[in-house]
Structure 1
């Protein structure tokens, strides 16, 4: 399982950035969605430490110009898009720099979900499957077993209520290329519980 990507989202504090990276996170997420309790400004994100982990900005309502500006100011490696942005928007950011959210509950079955994802092949680096029907940060899990035969045209990350108590089950049943952790490894919104982070990373990567 060492090749499973782990993203930990909702960074707000230097000690969490450093602790999550030390635990083995591959990607760290910084949220720029106004309604999120974990929302940062570009300047706040820019002030957080640099580590070996790639830096991901999470965007919902921003324009293309705003996304590009924030990515530059905050020195971000990826843009994670949760606003239903189209293929042209993704390509303008750069396909190799985009993680785009999709919501299985919007579709009657996984075949319909895959059909909705197919136009984005070549336009994004990773897809991300999230709970709910829009946005993100719902803190609830998808039905892992329903994704057992899921085979989209690009690598994908599983999000939604993941933490040390269900991460092994999620990997075994859904078989994603990566996992996106947030509320499941927090003590309160925006404050990471590094013990939970380390337990989760150990389950995935076999190291703490």
Structure 2
């Protein structure tokens, strides 16, 4: 099965289009005000309107209030929600939209337990843990913690994030064999501004890993 790819932290329509043209399966829109990649409802709607068909729009939230997520869903045609905070399963399930749950890989993180706890999630996104950042750190974690042998206990698809870039994504795919990979800072010219050439290089590296 081909590795799926999400380009996260899109803030401009032209960056969403660059991701789609390079072959990305999904883009991520960050609705977390503290992030340098945060977008407004109006910005997100403009980005989604520019996307071609069959590109999934994912909305990322971090411990957001229910009403604020409702506001986004009324204004932006999101296909999937991504919860990146301490949301409970009930909070994740409270919307008529499928979701994925991010698990930050602290020393205490247990993916088998997380998969059981968030049994309704369409996937678990594993990301680098930071005491100060909810994501987008640009740092990788120890991929051995998500090894294929360990994942034999999991039925939930694994989406690998955290410090990926064109130079290391093939190695990450070989080590983890995830369902999908998710990149943000690794394909940027500056925070929140994507580099089309880096996106293309990232997608080429993913395709090459698929063939090996």
Q: Which string of whole-angstrom CA distances, capped at 9 and with x for unpartnered residues, describes residues 145-165 of structure 1? A: 232123233101011111100
Question: Where do 1:117-128 residues align within 5 Å?
Answer: 117-121=115-119, 123-128=120-125
User: Can you list the C-alpha shifts for 1:36-85, whole angstroms capped at 9, x where unaligned?
Assistant: 11111111100121223110111013122321320231111111101111
Q: Which residue of 1 is the match for residue 177 of structure 2?
A: 175
Residues 1-208 of structure 1: pairs in structure 2 closer than 5 A: 3-48=2-47, 49-52=50-53, 53-94=55-96, 97-107=98-108, 112-121=110-119, 123-133=120-130, 135-148=134-147, 149-151=149-151, 152-206=154-208
Q: Tell me the number of residue pairs that the alignment of Structure 1 and Structure 2 aligns.
A: 201
Would you say the 8 A contact 2:8–2:183 is kept in 1? Answer: yes
Unaligned runs of 5+ in 2: none
Aligned-pair CA distance for 1:106: 4.3
Q: Is the 8 A contact 1:71 1:79 kept in 2?
A: no
| TM-score, normalised with respect to structure 2 | 0.88
Equivalent pair of 1:7/1:181 in contact (CA under 8 Å): yes
User: Displaced runs of 4+ in structure 1, greater than 2 A?
Assistant: none
